[in-house]
Amino acid sequence: MMDSIRIGLIGWGTVGCGMLQTLRENAKEIQARVGVRMDVVRVADLDLDSPRPVSVDPHLLTRSAQDILDDPSIHIVVELIGGLEPARSFIMKALEKGKHVVTANKALLAHHGNEIFAQAAKCGRSVGFEASVAGGIPLLKAIREGLSANRLDTLFGILNGTANYILTRMTEDGLPFAQALAEAQRHGYAEADPSLDVDGIDTAHKLAIASAMSFGTSIRLDKVYVEGIRDIDLLDVQFASEFGYRLKLLAIARNTNGLVELRVHPTLIPERHVLASVRGAYNAVHIHGNAVGNIMLYGLGAGMLPTGSAVVADLVDLARDMTLGIVHRVPPLGFLPEYSSEMPVKPMDDVVTRYYFRFSAVDRPGVLSKISGVLGANQISIAAVIQKGREVEGAVPIVMLTHEAVEKDVRRSLEAIDRLDIVRGPTKLLRIEDRTDNAVASA
Amino acid sequence: MMDSIRIGLIGWGTVGCGMLQTLRENAKEIQARVGVRMDVVRVADLDLDSPRPVSVDPHLLTRSAQDILDDPSIHIVVELIGGLEPARSFIMKALEKGKHVVTANKALLAHHGNEIFAQAAKCGRSVGFEASVAGGIPLLKAIREGLSANRLDTLFGILNGTANYILTRMTEDGLPFAQALAEAQRHGYAEADPSLDVDGIDTAHKLAIASAMSFGTSIRLDKVYVEGIRDIDLLDVQFASEFGYRLKLLAIARNTNGLVELRVHPTLIPERHVLASVRGAYNAVHIHGNAVGNIMLYGLGAGMLPTGSAVVADLVDLARDMTLGIVHRVPPLGFLPEYSSEMPVKPMDDVVTRYYFRFSAVDRPGVLSKISGVLGANQISIAAVIQKGREVEGAVPIVMLTHEAVEKDVRRSLEAIDRLDIVRGPTKLLRIEDRTDNAVASA
């Protein structure tokens, strides 16, 4: 039996520091769980000079990741540099050299996960990536193992803490988007370039991974419909509240008889839904399975220590396999590759959901009738309307919630409506998710 | 490699039916995850005649559990009869005969878990018991594996759906306890004899198991302080709301530098806390770890299919081990027995928390001063007071919330206060948990 597991870390950044600190601070607990020591024996980073919250013995440091890949004594390579290259090459090389890999790199897995998992299978090595989705929340383990008895049909959630922080500030403090973003940046929740977070791209990466694992299919990032929160108007957050909804950037995956929906967009959810109470930088994921019913997992989706917690959980899992001399106990995506099927993804045009529209129309008799006429002609039926006399630049907002409608009918209607002479600006469209209602326990 | 795993089921009741249905309905998904078939080859129950929601091939049925224990072709025995005996003997015998065991029996594990796990270690066999705590929520897997990087210091939650259903109906519909209980019984949420649920015993069983796993100690049911909800007065639910709290039957485990608190009692939690939004028959557990921060898991804690989901997840876990020819990959309580330590449990007298008191006092000047005088003399300081002129049988309710105080000081004070001639009846005491506040994301 091995008495210590030797780890090489590539990427001495925030998450790397979280992993190092967790391994050090909880060394006793971790050894009590696995029976062996976990030793970080080499740390590579291009920048060895910037101050870090967690220090490393200078003898272990190197500027060259190759030093780790070439070290035959290293059992596990932890890749925490992020991005596509050179992360991808490092991981492929590590597997080829017979090392297990742990990574938090959602962008890489969303783009190249299928290829990386195939390489791992070929090389007889494992890839752990719990940290890549929902940070500290043990979501992937729950999907892959805890809920393994189920046919999972729905997964939706808040997977980006930055976007959720911004929307929370807009909702609770009435800040417009730009100001809420600036606050997020000031508190370190958002990067100088916030595109990945606010444009929904990071959420899409995570959804691509978690949905593949939920439904037993391969990862298809290119099939995820993505819309971010950059254009969210405070007015719509406020109208949403008036109707009893909260606005969240939601990742939605749904499997209806083998046809999959994959979408990320700002979404109204009922304020009494448990996801509506997820505030600030927290993440939460709601899953529905045919046996378990509704499940929700909630926690910090980012940050040095929460993400470090997930990285180290993967290391513990690997250590538990390694001490028994086994590998591939659980397939990376939960399903054995020979059983994994390619599921068709529903085009966004065919998605059926409820909608929120805000029209900017002139304040004149007959306006409502014209707009609802166009909607009716396109099979879109109205569930609720608010019209308020706040005239801005010659137009009043008219807000409508629809019953379920087909996306392409909605698109066609809004194009027609926006061409009407009574309409003063482009209509705002948001989607509503209240089938999520079943997640609220009803008596 | 084995091509099928042979399962014997003892107990063809609700959960047994849930397991059978899940295995049947999701056979394809389960085989795609583990690569082998899972076959239930024998089902034992004393009663083979009552109608069941899920049928069994009559050839598989037997009235004798012994038939299953004696069948050398059976790999896994699933015990779902509940209670202490004969469940305990069946499990001990199954292990001795070289079979793995899966059980949902929290009462048994809370009482005899240590002995059963020792037997499993001796026999080189596994015991799966995910279904014993929080039903379908993969809580034990999260604690034992998903959060394995952490020193966990706090676990608290709603672990009994029946009690939560009753409290939800009291809170939302203004029903008194007896009527809410009757409703729970009418809807099948409560048994004819509801003691295990409403007196907090079932919650204590689950807390004993989950806390041992969280802290790396053995199971000590006898150390759990237990108070149920049978004496909850609707008036207190309503006063709690006025102060911004919801009343929940909470299981609380806290490890402060190796000194453990284990208690189950009705508890006021802030209404904006995520646990406050857990309604009806749902369960939810909040965990705090030194790396991951706050985590919450939410779902159905009981019911045929949710519990069946957890039983089958254990079967899948076992199958994944068995196909690789390994055992004991993860210790039953998460920590290797040789590292598990016996932690002292803090006596209830020494617990420090905040309190809610409702005094029944005569409506006369000086009353408030007398009561607060006694409290002050016992180092109990008052955070808020409501006195309302609703005189009932010559007394008015005076409600106070305290700052943190020591349980024994509180007990001593209330004894003194209840002897005052201005006091008309025994004071109602409830505890407040708002350190839980840190579970609410703050901006």
Closest chain A CA to residue B169:
A443
Contact B164, A442 (CB under 8 A): no
Provide the pLDDT confidence category of residue A441 given band limits of 50, 70 and 90: very low
State the Cα angle at A442 between B229 and A252, rounded to 5°.
125
- A221 half-sphere exposure, CB direction, 13 A CA radius: 17
Of A32, A141, A168, the CB nearest to B146: A141
pLDDT of residue B441: 37
Pair type for strands A152-158 and A127-128: unpaired
Q: Residue A14 has which token pair?
A: 């925030």
Q: Does B359 touch chain A (CB under 8 A)?
A: no
Q: Which amino acids of B are annotated catalytic? A: 206
Contact A426, A357 (CB under 8 A): no
Q: Which residues of A fall within a CB distance of 8 Å from B321?
A: 329
Min CA distance, A245 vs chain B (Å)?
16
Q: Which amino acids of A are annotated catalytic? A: 206
Q: Which residues of B fall within a CB distance of 8 Å from A282?
A: 441
Q: Does B24 touch chain A (CB under 8 A)?
A: no
Provide the pLDDT confidence category of residue A389 given band limits of 50, 70 and 90: low
Cα(A353)–Cα(A401) distance, rounded to whole angstroms? 11
Residues of B numbered 296-315 whose beta carbons fall under 8 angstroms of chain A's beta carbons: which are they? 296-300, 303, 305-306, 308-313, 315
Cα(A291)–Cα(A345) distance, rounded to whole angstroms? 24
Q: Which residues pair with A157 in a beta bridge?
A: A251, A285
pLDDT by residue (tens digit) across B71-98? 999 999 999 999 999 999 999 999 999 9
Q: Which domains does chain B have, with CATH numbers?
A: 4-135+304-338 (3.40.50.720), 139-300 (3.30.360.10), 348-437 (3.30.70.260)
Query: Mean pLDDT throughout A7-14?
Result: 97
Q: Does B350 touch chain A (CB under 8 A)?
A: no
Query: Mean pLDDT throughout A250-254?
Result: 98
pLDDT of residue A190: 87
In chain B, which stretches have pLDDT less than 70?
Answer: 1, 389-390, 436-443
Residues in chain B: 443
Q: Which residues of B fall within a CB distance of 8 Å from A300?
A: 292-294
Query: Mean pLDDT throughout A238-242?
Result: 95
Q: Residue B143 has which token pair?
A: 């604690």
Q: Which residues pair with A9 in a beta bridge?
A: A43, A78
Q: Which residue has tokens 């407040």? A: B432
Provide the pLDDT confidence category of residue A404 given band limits of 50, 70 and 90: very high
Q: Residue A67 has which token pair?
A: 């030093």
pLDDT by residue (tens digit) across A151-207? 999 999 999 999 999 999 999 999 999 999 999 999 888 888 999 999 999 999 999
Phi/psi region, residue A82 (left: phi>0; alpha: psi -120 to 50; beta: rest), is left
Task: Of A154, A147, A180, A149, give the one whose Cα is nearest residue A166.
Answer: A180
Cα(A160)–Cα(A249) distance, rounded to whole angstroms? 8
Any binding-site annotation on A17?
yes
Residues of A numbered 128-167 whose beta carbons fall under 8 angstroms of chain B's beta carbons: which are they? 130, 136-138, 141-142, 145-151, 165
Residues of A numbered 393-432 whose beta carbons fall under 8 angstroms of chain B's beta carbons: which are they? none
pLDDT by residue (tens digit) across A406-423? 999 999 999 999 999 999
Of B26, B329, B442, the CB nearest to A150: B26
pLDDT of residue B191: 85
Any binding-site annotation on B115?
no
Q: Which residues of A fall within a CB distance of 8 Å from B294?
A: 298-300
Q: What is the DSSP letter of A392?
A: B
Query: Mean pLDDT throughout A69-87?
Result: 97
Any binding-site annotation on B191?
yes
pLDDT of residue B135: 94
In the predicted structure, residue A333 carries a pLDDT above the cut 60: yes
A306: preceding bond cis by omega (within 30 degrees): no
Q: At what angle do helices B407-418 and B367-377 cross, to 10 degrees?
A: 150
Residue type, A224: V
Q: Which residues pair with A77 in a beta bridge?
A: A8, A101
Closest chain B CA to residue A22:
B291
Query: Mean pLDDT throughout A313-324?
Result: 97
- Which 3 state secondary structure label does DSSP give A31? helix
Cα(B251)–Cα(B267) distance, rounded to whole angstroms? 9
Q: At what angle do helices A14-25 and A304-322 cross, to 10 degrees?
A: 60
Of B279, B335, B443, the CB nearest to A168: B443
**Segment holding B396, helix H or strand E:** strand B396-402
Q: Does B281 touch chain A (CB under 8 A)?
A: yes
pLDDT of residue B442: 34
pLDDT of residue B242: 94
Across the A:B interface, residue pairs with CB atoms under 8 Å apart total: 259
Q: Does B387 touch chain A (CB under 8 A)?
A: no
pLDDT by residue (tens digit) across A203-228? 999 999 999 999 999 999 999 999 99
A280 and B149 within 8 Å at the Cβ level: the answer is no
Of B313, B441, B442, the CB nearest to A145: B313
Cα(B281)–Cα(B8) distance, rounded to whole angstroms? 30
A331 and B168 within 8 Å at the Cβ level: the answer is no
Cα(A78)–Cα(B278) distance, rounded to whole angstroms? 38
Q: Whole-angstrom distance between the N-terminal and C-terminal Cα of chain A?
A: 54
Q: What is the DSSP letter of A146?
A: I
Q: Which residues of A fall within a CB distance of 8 Å from B443?
A: 165, 168-169, 172-173, 187, 279-280
Cα(A60)–Cα(A68) distance, rounded to whole angstroms? 10
**Segment holding B79, helix H or strand E:** strand B76-79
pLDDT of residue A1: 58
**Interface pTM, i.e. ipTM:** 0.94
Query: Mean pLDDT throughout A379-383?
Result: 95
Backbone angles phi, psi at A125, to 5 degrees: -125, 165
Cα(A186)–Cα(B41) distance, rounded to whole angstroms? 62
Of B216, B309, B442, the CB nearest to A291: B309
Contact B272, B360 (CB under 8 A): no
Any binding-site annotation on A258?
no
Q: Does B335 touch chain A (CB under 8 A)?
A: yes
Any binding-site annotation on A13?
yes
Task: Of A427, A439, A440, give the one whose Cα is nearest residue A156.
Answer: A439
